[in-house]
Structures are given as structure tokens and as C-alpha cells.
Amino acid sequence: MLELLIGLAVTLVVGYFIIKGYKAAGVLLTAGLLLLLLTGIIGHQVLPDSIKSTGNFVTDSMEYIKFMLQNRGGGLGMQIMLLCGFASYMTHIGANNVVVKQFSKPLSVVKSPYILLVAAYIVACLMSLAVSSATGLGVLLMATLFPMMTAMGISRPAAVAVCASPAAIILSPTSGDVIVAAEKSGLPLHVFAVETVLPVSICAILVMAAAAFFWNKYLDQKENIAMEKVDLSEIDVKAPAYYAFLPFLPIVGVFVFNGETIPGLTLDIYTIVVMSIVAGAAVDFATKGFKGKETLEDLESCYQGMADAFKGVVMLLVAAGVFAQGLMSIGAIDNLIGLAESAGAGGFALMMLLTGLTVAAAVATGSGNAPFYAFVELAPMLAGKMGISPAFLIIPMLQASNLGRTISPVSGVIVATSGMGQVSPFEVVKRTSVPVFCGLITVILGTVVLVPMYS
């Protein structure tokens, strides 16, 4: 219990300093390092099993920071930098202005920006079928959909919240979480994913879309944020009309190459974005009369966008990762699991307890996967003791882990999208909080109605 109290205390202190305006990356990194050092002092293992110890808990703490720099900087961080660089390049050559000009005309018949917000949210949720990473999807949407949403009158915080939240509800039947959940539930994948999880997910998405409509409208009115569409006459468009397709190259590439659409050819998002940058440069090179020097100078905006992303977004992700590891290594999550194991509650009460603990762990660590994988191991054992269906416990936990991540100011997707949108993570969390709460209630009710408690 001491470990849980330490984790809670440090988390509250982190929230206090971030709210007070301290740099989030520095606060999270400092808190994470402190937790790792405290972990070593009380005799726990600092590093996860996958990382070899240096032999001392102090240097182990530094070793984990190095690991996060390598892992997040070279993996997810590189994806973010590439997409941010691509977005900067599209703005520099005028392609984003062309998109706004072209799409604003047909969308101008829709008078309410909030209806457009709901439509954008539904489109973003469908994109989660193609992009499994919540952070990767959020960054992709920020690079492509965000400029168009703000141009159509959607406020910046609301637009960021749309980009941050489509992965809050799982739609894909082949995601890793769903596969693990089906195995632990003892059900065939198609039965678990399509016949049980999917109906609940669809209901939750519709409820969250409606909640986003009313909640964002309420906040914009309360905070006097003007929802004004861009005057088309004020948009300076120097690029030709066909540049409108360039900003959407990564999205098209994801659907075409990130699967088996073309037999034998599968590309990851990194390669797809690189191809999009090269294609954009080639089109710009030809359009501007094959002036190589000018094309290479324009590409500098891409590199600058990547550098800005590392400073403003990637380092936040590294710091958030160190903080999450600190919470896990000190034993805060294990203590939460212990609470669940010792609960002598009924079937519905046990489901609510496990769901609540999963949400709490997801909010604290900023991870959707880690809390779910930790708690899902308990579900079959606890269900067996009480004679209830494991699926009745697991489905709400599965969705709760992703919903909790969407309201965590230290989660990768919130940090990345808020950084790109130049909005506080807490402002984004405020925007996602009510839709997430409504989605969680829908998931619980849907489980009770659609999933038998007793097998």
C-alpha cells in the first residue's frame, strides 16, 4: 500500500506543477526519475525484464531514460517527426491552403461547425481500422484533418480533442488487445470481436459523438471561443488546384499499402510518409519548372518541422514514458491489482471495480496496453471463482483501458496532439472527459445488456 500512496502523491504533485505552468516535459522527467530512484531505494527492480541492469539502481534509472530516448526517439518519435515535417512542408508549398479552399465550398452549406466536428470524429474513428497506434493515428489526423477542421470554424481545442480521441473505442477485430481479450475470455476471435465487442463499440462511438457535439459547444460558449469559419477570400492560394490531393497522401498510403490491398506489398507508416514527402517534392519540382535549388530550399521547412516536433512533442513522450515506468516499477500498479484480487464483491460490482481500476491505471500511466495486460490476467481467475463469464469482466476492461488513456494528460496521444496543436494537455483532457465518461457508461450498459453474466 505504501507504493500506491507514493505513486498517488507524486502524480498529484506532477499535476500541481503542470497546472502552475511548469514545463510538462521537465516535470514528468523529474518525477519519473524520482520514482525510479525511490524504487531502487526500497529494494524493487528499477528496469523492466527486457532491459539488462547496469548493476546499480542509480545508473539503472539513467539507463531507462537512455532506453526511452532510443525507443521513442527512433520509433514512435520518428513517426511523429516525419508527419510534423510533412505537415510543415504542405503548409510551406501552399497545399494546405488549397485543401481549405477546395473543401470549404461544398462544406459551407453546413452551418454548424459542431456538425462538422461530429462528422470529423466519425471519419477519425473509421481511420482507427487502418492505423492501430493511438498516438500514430492522432498525429496523422493532426497533420491532415486538423487544418481543415480549424478552417471550417471548429475551435482549436475541439479539433485537437477530435484527433486525440478516435482510438478511445476499439473497432478493429484484429488489434492486439482484442486478440488477447478473446483468448482470456475463452471465446473464438470472431465471436468475441464481431458479435460481442463490435456492437458495444458502435453504440459507444455514437454516444461519444453526440456528447462531443454538446460538450464542445458548451465549453466554447462558456469560454467565449468564437467558432468562425475562415473567409475564403482571405485565403492566399498560390499553388494550383491539384495540390489539394498532396496533404492526403499519407492517409491514402495507409489504406493502400498498410495491409494486403496489393498482394506481397506491405509498407509501414514511416515508409508511407517518406514516400508522401518525396511525391510532394516531385510534384512541386515539376510544377515550378524543374528548379532544383528552389525545391531543395522548400524542403528545409520539412526538416525544421521535424526539429520542432522533437523539441515540442517527442521529448514530452520520452518524459511521459519515464514517469509511467516509475509508477509501474515502484509497485503502484501491482498494488491496484492486489485491491482487485482481494475484492469479495458480486459479479456486477467486481466488473465495476476492475473497470474502475483499469481506468485509474490508464490515466496515471498514460498507457492503454499496460493496465489492460496487467489486469486481464486476473479476470479468468476471478470469474472462475465466482462462476461468471470472463467476457463479462473483460469487455469493459478492454474498452476502459483505451478510454482512460484518452483522458490522461501524460498519454502519448494527448501529449503529441496537444503539442502539435499548441494547446495545453489539460485543455484537451477537459474536452475529451465528458465524451469518455459517456462512452464508459455506454460500454458498461452495453456489456450488461449484450453479454451474459453467467456462462
Instruction: Note the pLDDT of residue 365.
Output: 76
Q: Find the mean pLDDT for residues 278-306.
A: 91
Contact of 77 with 298, CB cutoff 8 Å: no
Q: Nearest Cα to 357, choosing from 373, 379, 333?
A: 333
Instruction: Note the pLDDT of residue 162.
Output: 93
Largest CA distance in the chain: 75
d(CA 114, CA 435): 14
Cell triple for residue 65? 531514460
Contact of 32 with 315, CB cutoff 8 Å: no
Q: What element of type H or E holds 124? A: helix 113-127
Instruction: Note the pLDDT of residue 442.
Output: 95
d(CA 87, CA 434): 30
d(CA 452, CA 455): 7
Burial bucket for residue 206 (CB in 10 Å: 0-12, 13-18, 19+): middle
Q: Is the pLDDT of residue 313 over 90?
A: no
The DSSP code for 310 is I
Tens digits of residue pLDDT in 34-74:
999 999 998 888 888 888 899 899 999 999 999 988 877 77
Q: Is the pLDDT of residue 254 over 80?
A: no
Among 228-237, 317-326, 440-449, top mean pLDDT goes to: 440-449
Of 362 and 234, more confident: 362
Tens digits of residue pLDDT in 431-454:
999 999 999 999 999 998 888 887
Q: Is the pLDDT of residue 260 over 60?
A: no
Q: To the nearest whole number, what is the mean pLDDT of the chain?
A: 82
Instruction: Note the pLDDT of residue 236.
Output: 67
Q: Find the mean pLDDT for residues 384-400.
A: 85
d(CA 278, CA 273): 9
